[in-house]
Amino acid sequence: MSKPKTITLAFTGASGMPYGMRLLEMLLRSNHTVYLLYSKVAQIVAQQEMDLPLPSQPKEAESFFKHHFQIPDASLQVFGREAWFSPVASGTNAADAMIICPCTMGTLAAVSTGMSQNLIERAADVMLKEQRQLILVPRETPLSTLHLENMLRLSRMGAVILPANPGFYHHPQTLQQIIDFIVARILDHLKIDHQLMPRWGEQNLSHSDDQC
């Protein structure tokens, strides 16, 4: 069983909200404390992709997610976009790790240059300066030279760039299994136990002994 962690999770306005929601569910079900942030555009994307009307008020949002996932005792705190006195805004009370999932290229660029113009960007900046784990999950294609340069800059700072590019070697039969592939990779990097899918070598690969 993984030791409980404090995780900052941010949703931004990129496509891929099902990844973020599934990750939130898994973190809460694993009894980790989650600090949740999301942008206005993330609310639009959640409505468009999942028919989920994410509340704008933090307390309403906390109740919403606990009811949605049916985890009434979940350790979840939602912070508004101007909650500059929240724990995520300072290195004196930094979380163990932060994930931005999904991550827009605008957010990625802002974090790579230390903009800190909103709470999500500031929380990510805190992770970098405190040398805590920062994972960004972009979902964009194709990638421009500027996108790649921003990713390289962040990688050199110690951030993990984990694109939402699911594999298919586990023979997914449902959309949920494709989503879980990415969520499992995030949880692996956080060193959080899960049973979402078998790891490489744990499944019977029918052609593993075939010759060319």
Number of separate domains in the chain: 1
Domain containing residue 131: 6-190
Given this model, what pLDDT does residue 199 score? 80
- Residue 17 belongs to a domain: yes
- The reply to whether 46 falls in a domain is yes
Closest CA to 146 of 197, 93, 106: 106
pLDDT in tens, 20-39: 999 999 999 999 999 999 99
Predicted confidence (pLDDT) at residue 206 exceeds the cutoff of 60:
no
Looking at the domain assignment, is residue 183 inside a domain?
yes
- Does 206 reside within a domain? no
Residue at 122 is within a domain: yes
Question: CATH no. for residue 148?
Answer: 3.40.50.1950
In a domain, 210, yes or no: no
d(CA 122, CA 106): 14
pLDDT per residue over 150-203, tens digit each?
A: 999 999 999 999 999 999 988 999 999 999 999 999 999 999 999 998 888 776
Q: Is residue 42 part of a domain?
A: yes
Structural domain contains residue 109? yes
Separation CA 129–CA 95 (nearest Å):
12
91 vs 3: CA distance, rounded Å: 21
- In which residue are the tokens 């979902």 written? 139
Q: Which residues pair with 77 in a beta bridge?
A: 35
Give counts: helices (H), strands (E), the chain: 7, 6
State yes or no: pLDDT of 211 exceeds 80: no
Contacts of 179 (CB under 8 A, 6+ apart): 18, 19, 22, 166
Q: Residue 90's Cα: distance from chain center in Å?
A: 20
Tens digits of residue pLDDT in 106-161: 999 999 999 999 999 999 999 999 999 999 999 999 999 999 999 999 999 999 99
Distance CA 123, CA 83 (A): 11
pLDDT of residue 1: 64
